[in-house]
Structure 1
Amino acid sequence: MPDAVIITRPRAQAGALAQQVAALGREVVLLPLLEISPLPDQSELTAQLAQLARYAMVAFVSPNAIDAAFAHIAHWPRAVTLAVLGEGSRAALARHGLDDGNARIVSPRDPARSDSENLLQSLDLTALAGKEVLIVRGESGRELMADGLRAAGAIVTTVAAYRRRVPAMSPALRTQLAGLLEGENDWIITSSEALRGLRSLVGELGSPDAVVKMQQQHLIVPHARIAETAAALGLTRLTLCGSGDERLLAALQSRP
């Protein structure tokens, strides 16, 4: 049995999963690989959210985008479609009172490919031609969704709702990371950006052995794009489980 389960989500989103993993009898270690913070100037975000009813659809790129936006939303216009990338985002919407019973929510059909490409394939792009669409995202990110919607004739506005960054190396993080690499752990990785950040942090440890030890760890990832990032980084011991905490937990339980 592996030593521990390393949960690498932002700290604010890790609690519920950590409790469920602990209930399985596994040791849990929180290692947030992305730090999420509000924008210093939120005027553009609040301005866009004040006129939600003008949009045919609002797309949220992550649970972070949902949580940041709904801090400024009192009521969701029923006629406006919500587009999200996975079960984590659906759960975030549910925390804010929205589900399939009271809102039209669209997400990728394939839970193993909860990304922009498959969200675009799940949308009725013809119906969005000539309509206004808002994308709520972080300060930086891929343009694929916006480009795909524009190519279909939609009028797209993007707005930043938060900023994210990989934590800087500190003495405490150095000690924690080096210690984790000494064991055989299961690492839950839910973001390609977080995975690239992890690889960079391991490189900062300054030991070739650290990179080799990281490549020997077992990753559990919910999306095929994260699996592709892992393979590109030489991390080949992984389980692709599909989107949602239930699938992450099932993957853990299936480990020998």
Structure 2
Amino acid sequence: MSRRPVIITRPRIQAFEFAEKLKRLQRQAVVFPLLDIRPLTDQSEIIRTVGLLTKFDLVAFVSPNAIDCFFPHVAAWPAALPIAVVGEGSRRALEKHGLNHQNADIRKPGNSDRTDSETLMAEMDTVSLAGQKVLVVRGSRGREFLADAFRKYGADVVQLVAYSSSEPEFSVECEDQLRHLLSMDSDWVITSSEAVRTLMRWTEKLDCGKYVLKMQHQNLIVSHARIAETATALGFRNITLTGTGDENVLVALQSCV
């Protein structure tokens, strides 16, 4: 069994959920969130939009967080309204809210090894999008790719911000924890390009240049080629690219020694 700790950089709630899975593998888990996800203080726009669901031809959710922040306001999903999601995490989030391929039209990339917005659009019937009204449910930060792609094919796009996404405060406690983590070799689970950029910014704020070099030699476990490209550009040397989904990340961690 590897004694190297696994540093989970997901938002706090998701990080603790993944930590439970690591415990079953007898791996030491350390929660170190690099993204802060919070429900909006004002839910009125979400409630208003939920009331207009039957006016849309398609609803696209950019992440599991978008689903979890939207569905508490949904009493019953319109049976004829298709849903588009990017990956397995979002599909599982829909299941938590009672929707699956048996009772809803859920569209997602067919290739489980490549689940991203680009693949979703490449596999969609884009010709049929012309003139359709599409709702994109997203966070306060992130790429505009999906909305722009739907518009490119002639859709009338409405975007709804369903949650706040921000960089956590780099507190004194975070600074001390980061120094401690860099005193050892660890496996860092990184699930977004934004997170790896935040990690390097925080490391650069430490008071000794040696920490950047130490960070660049840590082992990163990433679930998308875009994250790997960002990490490589930031000087990381040891990057393991997995398929998407917790199962693939866990398999990769089991092979880390």
TM range (shorter): over 0.9
Aligned-partner SS, 1:206: coil
Q: How far apart in 1 are the matches of 2:45 and 2:80?
A: 23
TM-score where L is the length of structure 1: 0.95
Bigger drift between 111-120 and 214-223 goes to: 111-120
Match of 2:152 in 1: 151
Q: Counterparts of 2:47 and 2:237 in 1: how far apart (Å)?
A: 43
- Matches of residues 79-228 of structure 1 in structure 2 within 5 Å? 79-228=80-229
Identical positions, percent = 50
Q: Which has the higher mean CA deviation after the structures are superposed, 107-116 or 161-170?
A: 107-116
Counterpart residue identity of residue 50, structure 1: G
Superposed CA RMSD in Å reads: 1.4
- Aligned to 2:42, the other structure's residue is in SS state coil
**Residue of structure 1 equivalent to 2:75:** 74
Matching residue's letter, 2:201:
S
Query: Shift of the alpha carbon at 1:2?
Result: 5.1
1:27-42, aligned counterparts within 5 Å? 27-42=28-43
Q: TM-score, normalised by structure 2?
A: 0.95
Deviation digits for residues 46-75 of structure 1 (CA, Å, limit 9, x no counterpart): 211211122121111111111110121111
The whole-number CA distance in structure 1 between the counterparts of 2:42 and 2:245 is 32
Q: Distance in 1 between matches of 2:208 and 2:95?
A: 44
SS in structure 2 of the partner of residue 67 of structure 1: helix
Q: Which residue of 1 aligns with 2:16?
A: 15
Q: 1:87 to 1:236 in 2, by over 3 A?
A: farther
Confirm or deny: 8 A CA contact 1:112 1:222 kept in the other structure: no
Q: Distance in 2 between matches of 1:236 and 1:88?
A: 28
Instruction: State how many pairs are aligned.
Output: 256
| Deviation digits for residues 54-102 of structure 1 (CA, Å, limit 9, x no counterpart) | 2121111111111110121111112111111111111111111111121
Unpaired runs of 5+ in structure 2?
none
Q: Output the CA distance in 2 between the equivalents of 1:52 and 1:222.
A: 32
